[in-house]
């Protein structure tokens, strides 16, 4: 068991708790940098494409985690902001804007427009806020169809390739370069996310989540703080939507539908609300379930001659997994890992009820 003795006030806001933890993360980063070498050696980049999709989901997962996990604002409309970022990126690229400018600009457009749309509903709480964002996700598809002159409507629109200083990057033509582009975006957003949590802004997000009335008493403006959280979350969703479009190479009004919005929320719940690790763990689950279903079908068909073609099987598996986590592990995958780690650190002094959820005695929201 490792004890961390804090001798300065900076120890509470350090990026890493100790040098060993820093070594773990550097080793992980080195591993993901060298991962394409394995697929170059095997000559089969298919699985690398699935890993790239997981990283794209992790980007939007970090944005939604900031909004829901850190600020306590549930959103069922983040697929609409992904669509906004994706279509903005396409229009800018078709207008001749370089990708290095169009890509971040698409994220900013998604953040600004998303915040303007969300400002009227940010005063809502709980399920009412979720329903308002749900309505936004439902009408997003209709808006895309109505703007057929810009979005292609029902027919869809092709996504231009990434061009960086004349070097063309396409998921299918050079998947390794596309992987490194996505990895660079993931690294930058994760670093910004982690630093934001150590800043006063990130602490104000947590204060709003825990008790809005208490946060107001400390001088925090709830509406402004929620708007900041929504803006940053929409920026991440817009960037992820842009990369998702480059990954799909062709999108329609059904690409970013209501099912994707619900899947994104399930992703962070399964991964673990309030933890940046939960965004990545949830993305792994969301990204690998379709692969496991496809491989399972192929295995049953080739080995036993059983063909399973059940409509909605993927959605049913997501629902079953979500219910299982809500009933047996509300803290998600990362919460389970914390319990396992704590068990071995405190063994044999670990107590079974150590992580039992306690009653909340802070009920200041009742005055609203």
| pLDDT tens-digit map of 265-324 | 888 988 888 888 989 999 988 887 777 777 777 777 777 777 777 766 777 777 787 788
Query: To 10 degrees, what angle do helices 222-248 and 175-198 make?
Result: 170
Q: Please check whether residue 317 is in contact with residue 293, taking contact to mean a CB–CB distance below 8 angstroms.
A: yes
Contact 244, 233 (CB under 8 A): no
- The model's confidence at residue 2, banded by pLDDT at 50, 70 and 90, is low
Which residues neighbour 75 within 8 Å (Cβ) at sequence distance 6 or greater?
A: 64, 67, 68, 129, 130, 133, 233, 261, 265
Which domains are seen in the chain, by residue range? Answer: 36-354 (1.10.3470)
- pLDDT tens digit string along 184-212? 999 999 999 999 988 889 889 989 888 88
Helix (H) or strand (E) segment spanning residue 244: helix 222-248
Closest listed residue to residue 66, CA positions, set 363, 264, 246? 264
Global pTM reads 0.88
Kindly report, residue by residue over 55-86, the tens digit of the pLDDT: 999 999 999 999 988 888 888 888 999 999 99
């Amino acid at each position: 068991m490792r004890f961390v003795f804090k001798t300065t006030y900076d120890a509470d806001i350090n990026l890493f708790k100790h040098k060993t933890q820093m070594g773990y993360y550097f080793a992980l980063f080195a591993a993901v940098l060298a991962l394409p070498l394995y697929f170059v050696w095997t000559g089969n980049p298919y699985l690398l494409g699935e890993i790239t999709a997981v990283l794209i989901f992790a980007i939007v997962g970090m944005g939604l985690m900031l909004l829901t996990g850190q600020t306590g604002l549930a959103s069922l409309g983040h697929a609409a902001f992904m669509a906004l970022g994706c279509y903005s990126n396409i229009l800018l690229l078709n207008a001749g804007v370089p990708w290095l400018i169009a890509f971040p600009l698409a994220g900013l457009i998604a953040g600004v427009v998303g915040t303007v749309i969300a400002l009227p509903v940010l005063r809502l709480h709980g399920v009412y806020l979720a329903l308002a964002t749900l309505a936004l996700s439902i009408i997003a598809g209709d808006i895309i169809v109505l703007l057929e002159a810009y979005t292609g409507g029902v027919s869809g629109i092709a996504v231009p390739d990434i061009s960086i200083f004349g070097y063309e990057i396409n998921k299918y033509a050079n998947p390794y370069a596309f992987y490194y582009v996505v990895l660079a975006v993931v690294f930058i957003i994760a670093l910004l996310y982690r630093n934001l949590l150590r800043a006063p802004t990130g602490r104000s997000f947590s204060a709003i989540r825990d008790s809005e009335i208490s946060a107001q008493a400390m001088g925090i403006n709830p509406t402004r703080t929620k708007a900041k959280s929504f803006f940053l979350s929409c920026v991440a969703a817009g960037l992820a939507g842009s990369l998702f479009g480059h990954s799909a190479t062709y999108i329609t009004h059904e690409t970013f539908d209501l099912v994707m919005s619900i899947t994104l929320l399930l992703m962070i719940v399964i991964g673990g609300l309030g933890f940046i690790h939960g965004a990545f763990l949830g993305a792994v689950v969301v990204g690998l379930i379709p692969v496991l279903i496809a491989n399972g079908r192929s295995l049953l068909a080739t080995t036993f001659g059983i063909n399973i073609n059940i409509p909605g099987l993927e959605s049913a598996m997501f629902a079953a997994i979500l219910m299982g986590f809500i009933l047996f592990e509300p803290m998600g995958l990362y919460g389970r890992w914390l319990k396992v780690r704590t068990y071995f650190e405190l063994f044999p002094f670990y107590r079974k009820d150590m992580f039992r959820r306690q009653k909340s005695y802070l009920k200041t929201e009742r005055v609203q």
